[in-house]
Structure 1
Amino acid sequence: MDYSKFLSERSKLRQPSATRALAPFLHQKDLISLGVGQPNPDTFPYASMSVTLKTGETLNIDEQLFSRALSYDNTQGLPHLNEWLCQLQKIEHNPPVDFTLSIGTGSQDLLTKTFEMLLNEGDPILIESPSYTGCLSFLKTLNCNFVDVMTDAYGIIPEQLEKILEAWPESDPSGRQNQPKPRCLYTIPSGGNPTGATSTIERKRAIYDICHKHDIIIIEDDAYYYLQFTVERVPSYLSMDVDGRVVRCDSMSKILSSGLRLGWVTGPKPLIERINLHTMGTNLQPSGIPQVMAYQLLAHWGHEGFFHHVKNVAAFYRQKRDDFVECLDRHMKGRATWAVPSAGMFFWVRLLGGINDSEDLIMNKALKQKVLGLPGVKFMPHESKTEYIRLSYSNVSKENMDEALRRLALVIDQEAEVNGLKIEDLGRSDQ
């Protein structure tokens, strides 16, 4: 593929940093470097590091790796960790075409760099509606033209995506007749935030075929991929990428630690290299200490140990999901409708009771009852009012789930009464 046509003008201007370009040579033992202003590690006060696991095991960080982690290193991440993750991608996804990988300060860091690489100011971007508020906030700073793609309980509806692209520019929401066709699609295919939706393999194949037909880059934001509750995980877009049109972002936040701030991006070498050029000019590299902490644990486990761990993590959240469903059934039937997610941490709940705008109810009335959710407007690309709210079950006990939903039900009842409705008149939720 000719990737130059996908690059923003800003990305095309990025050049390698003269000093960062030397980073791969810094650890070559037979080379004497006079070229880089590397601080002398003899002045650093740290001597060693060990980490205690919840199993009671102690991981002593390799002395040389620890020393390396204290200094500047490769833009694309600690080579040991990068290689481990590359092997993970081959085992889990087996991409059909060559790929490369770069580590970042969380997947959000890599997503924002991907957006800047692909989008000029005012460019259209195909985006799920609703979508992740963190990326929406960043994309608004690029003055993007959001092209909403309708979703349901299984994510993007392929027919809607095809309809938009076939009818372009008539389907351009900006109404500008000379607006270029979108070059990229942003999607959260597993346990979507906020909807909890997980795309089926059939839908992914249909969407990939549409993107192939219209020459669209797929930005696969899959932070919840390993939190799928089914026995077999739904294959990724990366696993079917015969064209080299997928840029995939993974995260350690949901499976190791959110405070490590580590993520990785996988995709065609020309695009990943552009992301690396961005890193060279901004934060230089991902932090060394979190990387070496993650690598020592992953090397200790091996890939089979990692898969065992994520299986347990997914089982943990599946139980949380089941507990939340029980509490929803007890308190919210007749007051709301919802689909049960098969991955992730979220329910996308449609409020009944004549509620058309959930923001006031959640941010004012529910807060007075000491219960917190997120109003759906925060996830709408065009900030349109909605009766939906996002509720998360990830970090709350079953007892507190039950009490929170009891309080929320009370608020909905009060709002329905104001609207001249009674809950018994609303009917039962259709599961």
Structure 2
Amino acid sequence: MDYTKFMTERSKARNPSAIRALIPYMNREDMISLGAGQPNPETFPFESMTVKLKSGEIMEMDPQLFQRALSYDLTSGLPPLNQWLRQLQTIEHAPPCDFDISVGSGSQDLLTKALEMMTDTGEAVMVEDPTYTGALAFLETLNCTLAPVATDQYGLVPDALESLLANWPATNPSGRQDQSRPRVLYTIPSGGNPTGISSSFERKKQIYDICHKYDIMILEDDAYYYLQFDEKRIPSYLSIDVDGRVLRCDSMSKILSSGLRLGWVTGPKPLIERMNMHTMVTNLQPSGLSQLMAYELLKLYGHQGFFEHVHRVANFYKEKRDLFVECLEKHMKDYAEWVVPQAGMFVWLKLKGIKDSQDLIMTKAIEKKVVAVPGLAFMPINKVTPFVRVSYSNVNQAQMDEALSRLAEAIAEANECK
């Protein structure tokens, strides 16, 4: 594929940093470097690092890697971590096409760099309706047109995507007839934020075929992939990518620690290179110490141990989901409709008798001391909506029960006031 057509002129204009380009040589023992402006590690006060796991195990950082992690390193990530993640992608997804990997400061860092790389000012980008508010907030800064694609309980609706592309520009939400057809589809296929919906494998195959037909890049934002509740995970877009048209973002935030601020992107080498160029001129690299902590843990686990770990994490959230649904049935069945999520942390409530959830959630619910997120925050095109996003990830059963009781009261009172 010719990937230059998916790159903005701004992205293509970035060149490798003259100094950053030398970093691969600086860690070689046979090299004497006079080129780096690196501070001398002898001035650093840190000698070693150990971490105690909840299992009771003491994890001691490899001394050489620890010293390396204290200094500048490769833009694409600590090499042993990068390699471990490359092996993980091969084991889990077995991508049909050749791919490259880069580590970033959280998947949000990588997601925004991918969107910036592929979205020029005035262009149109296809997004799910509704979609992640963090992506919407960034896309607003790019001065682009958002082209929403309908979703249902099985994920993106193929007919809606086909119709949008086949009838463009008549289907352009902006009304502009001179705007080119979108080149990028942004999707959250597992435990979607905000809907909690997971795309079925059949839907993914249909969506991929449509993207092949119209030459569309798929930006697969899959932070909740390992939080699927069924024993067998639904295969990713990356796993069926015979064209090399999937750029996939994964996150350690939901499975290891959100404070580590680590994610990784997988996809065609030319696009990964462009994203690395972006990192070179912004944050240089992800945190060395965060990467080392993650790598030492993953090395300790091994890939099989990692799969066992994410299985435990998924079961943890599944148990919370089950308790939350019980509380929903108890308090909310007269006031809302919902689809039971099969992954992730969220339930998308459609309130009954309420046209606009904004005031209800931001005023009445707050007065009753319960916090939820009004659906307007997730709408690609601002519109009145009865939807509300609620999360069960950080509440116990008693808190779930009380919070949904309070929310039900707020809805009942709002309906009585009409």
Alignment of 1:67 onto 2:67: yes
Question: Which amino acid counterpart does residue 264 of structure 1 have in structure 2?
Answer: W
Partner of 1:261 in structure 2? 261
- Determine helix, strand or coil for the equivalent of 2:311: helix
- 1:154 shift after superposition: 1.6
Deviations 1:103-129 (A, max 9, x none): 000000000000111010111001001
- 1:58 shift after superposition: 0.3
Partner of 1:19 in structure 2? 19
Alignment of 1:396 onto 2:388: no
Partner of 2:55 in structure 1? 55
Deviations 1:59-114 (A, max 9, x none): 01000010000000000000000000000000000000100000000000000000
Distance of 2:119 and 2:337 partners within structure 1: 37
Partner of 1:211 in structure 2? 211
Partner of 1:278 in structure 2? 278
Deviations 1:192-216 (A, max 9, x none): 0000000000000000000000000
Distance of 1:85 and 1:198 partners within structure 2: 23
Alignment of 1:195 onto 2:195: yes
Distance of 1:78 and 1:231 partners within structure 2: 32
Question: Which amino acid counterpart does residue 50 of structure 1 have in structure 2?
Answer: T
Distance of 1:204 and 1:134 partners within structure 2: 23
Question: Which amino acid counterpart does residue 74 of structure 1 have in structure 2?
Answer: L
- Determine helix, strand or coil for the equivalent of 1:371: coil
Alignment of 1:132 onto 2:132: yes
Matches within 5 A, 1:166-245: 166-245=166-245
Q: Structure 1 segments of 4 or more deviating over 3 A?
A: none
- 1:299 shift after superposition: 0.2
- Determine helix, strand or coil for the equivalent of 2:250: strand
- 1:178 shift after superposition: 1.4
Deviations 1:235-261 (A, max 9, x none): 000000000000000000000000000
Deviations 1:316-366 (A, max 9, x none): 0000000000000000011100000000000000001x2111010001110
Partner of 1:387 in structure 2? 386
Deviations 1:252-310 (A, max 9, x none): 00000000000000000000000000000000000000000000000001000000000
Partner of 1:98 in structure 2? 98
Question: Which amino acid counterpart does residue 13 of structure 1 have in structure 2?
Answer: A
Question: After the TM superposition, which of the residue ranges 354-363 and 212-221 deviates more from structure 2?
Answer: 354-363
- 1:384 shift after superposition: 1.1
Question: Which amino acid counterpart does residue 144 of structure 1 have in structure 2?
Answer: C
Distance of 2:347 and 2:235 partners within structure 1: 22
Distance of 1:4 and 1:257 partners within structure 2: 35
Alignment of 1:249 onto 2:249: yes
Distance of 1:275 and 1:162 partners within structure 2: 29
Partner of 2:37 in structure 1? 37
Matches within 5 A, 1:81-160: 81-160=81-160
5+ residue gaps, structure 1, are 420-431
- 1:28 shift after superposition: 0.4
Question: Which amino acid counterpart does residue 302 of structure 2 have in structure 1?
Answer: G
Distance of 1:348 and 1:408 partners within structure 2: 14
Question: Which amino acid counterpart does residue 196 of structure 1 have in structure 2?
Answer: G
Distance of 2:311 and 2:108 partners within structure 1: 24
Distance of 1:373 and 1:362 partners within structure 2: 7
- 1:169 shift after superposition: 1.0
Distance of 2:95 and 2:246 partners within structure 1: 10
Partner of 2:350 in structure 1? 350
- 1:373 shift after superposition: 0.1
- Determine helix, strand or coil for the equivalent of 1:258: coil
Tell me the TM-score normalized by structure 2.
1.00
Tell me the TM-score normalized by structure 1.
0.97
- 1:45 shift after superposition: 0.3
The CA RMSD measured in Å over matched residues stands at 0.5
Question: Which amino acid counterpart does residue 323 of structure 2 have in structure 1?
Answer: D
Question: Which amino acid counterpart does residue 320 of structure 2 have in structure 1?
Answer: K
Seq. identity, %? 64
Partner of 1:425 in structure 2? none
- Determine helix, strand or coil for the equivalent of 1:349: strand
Deviations 1:120-165 (A, max 9, x none): 0111001001000001000000011000000111211011000100
Matches within 5 A, 1:313-332: 313-332=313-332
Distance of 2:154 and 2:20 partners within structure 1: 43
Partner of 1:369 in structure 2? 368
Distance of 1:357 and 1:184 partners within structure 2: 30
Distance of 1:18 and 1:36 partners within structure 2: 11
- Determine helix, strand or coil for the equivalent of 2:259: helix
5+ residue gaps, structure 2, are none
